[in-house]
Amino acid sequence: MADRVMQLASERAVVVFTLSSCCMCHTMTQLLANQLSVNALVIELDRDARGKDMERALLRMLGGRGPAVPTVFIGGELVGGTKKIMSLHLAGELKPRLLDAGALWL
């Protein structure tokens, strides 16, 4: 299932795995879309037939720590969850990564 996750993660510059009822997932997608103008591919695992399996794969990819969602991939690379994305954003490091991945235009 990790192969499926990586395949989906490579479909766009930014891919976010979420759950439709998760407030942190909503916050993450809003940050990317509204504040940073990123057109991310959002995959709601609870609306996917293989969502539970992908959620378990994401948790393994994250080292078994923390919640599996939201999980953000930038440029096909696993970046992490809410804490990691917010840390990058507050440090001014998120925008350059998004630019490098082709998710933002100047």
Whether the predicted model's global pTM rises above the 0.85 cut: yes
pLDDT in tens, 73-99: 999 999 999 999 999 999 999 999 999
pLDDT in tens, 94-104: 999 999 999 99
pLDDT (0 to 100) of residue 77? 97
Handedness of CA 3, 40, 18, 73 (dihedral sign): positive
Q: Does domain 2-101 have CATH number 3.40.50.2300?
A: no
Take residue 72 and report the two structure tokens written for it.
């953000």
Q: Contact at 8 Å (CB) between 43 and 13?
A: no
Band of the pLDDT at 66, cuts 50, 70, 90?
A: confident
